[in-house]
Amino acid sequence: MTLVLGIDIGGTATRAVVTTLGGTRAGSGRAGAANPVTVPAAEAAANLTAALTAALSTVDVARIGAAVAGAAGGSRPAVLQAAFDTLGVRCPLRVVGDAVIAFAAGTTEPAGSVLISGTGAVAAEIRAGTIACTADGLGWLLGDLGSGFWIGRSAATAVARALYRGDPPGPLARLVTAAVGAREGDPFVAAVHDRPPRELAALTPLVTAAAADGDPVALSIMAGAATHLCQTLAEIREPGDRRPIVLAGGVLRHCLPLRAAVRARLTAAWPAAPVLVAGPGEEGAARLAAHDLTAYT
């Protein structure tokens, strides 16, 4: 039985899955970030190899007929190929943007839009399995508005300002200061700056929890994130477009208050378009790999 390999190389985690051509899972693996754009090349290679090793541990690699890997901004194929060579994977490898696998994880339609909020944030128009155009996706320093990083940084900023003002701590402040390990202004700011910037995305679940408790600051952050994300999509999507919109990325998939707010705005802006939620990105990559094998047979 022929198998395919799908890989999702994210800014926070790397996930790999082996499936049959029909999508039944045969193996899976997960490790840390493996995008050389966001982590050192050696760390990226080690994490990619770890995820692939786990995914391939239950299958015969000789049965894998095709592989597709998706990464933000694409990835360095040499890093992927080196891991394949180490593990004895000999099948063809296609590297695409993470937006392509995210769209494929939400719909089988050939064209439409995908809006991603994970560690970063981007909107893309997909046509025939390729990215036609994008908005944002500029990284934490220049953009990624409405992303997990943006939400986490907004929370840290709001809490820092509240600490210096001496405001009574609300749900968000209590959660964030506990996570950072400092409850006063100067130590809090120092602790935040001591961490790698991308780790601020880990505060997103705390903002979600605080919003569920009715914390006004958390609710405002979520509303701001939803506005940013919808504005990003509007940069590349025409009014009246009826093609599907896929919501993807860890934040939009798992942060229900944000997803609900984004869905409401998108439905109002494009009432004729279905708004769908993507499955795991690695499954979209595996679906594309299966298509690569079967499209012309």
Please tell me the distance from the alpha carbon of residue 169 to that of residue 152, in angstroms, as a whole number.
17
Among the listed ranges 42-46, 113-117, 124-128, 187-191, which one has the minimum average pLDDT value? Answer: 42-46
pLDDT single digits (tens) 35-52: 766 777 788 889 999 999
* Topology of domain 109-278, CATH: Nucleotidyltransferase; domain 5 (3.30.420)
pLDDT at 160: 98
* Topology of domain 3-105+280-294, CATH: Nucleotidyltransferase; domain 5 (3.30.420)
pLDDT single digits (tens) 205-228: 999 999 999 999 999 999 999 999
In the structure encoding, which two tokens stand for residue 59, read together? 């299958």
* 109-278 shares the fold of 3-105+280-294: yes
Closest CA to 53 of 77, 34, 74: 34
Please tell me the distance from the alpha carbon of residue 283 to that of residue 20, in angstroms, as a whole number.
11
CA atoms within 13 A on the CB side of 216: 2
| Domain range list for the chain | 3-105+280-294, 109-278
**pTM for the full predicted model:** 0.85
Q: In the structure, what pLDDT confidence band is assigned to residue 114 with cuts at 50, 70 and 90? A: very high
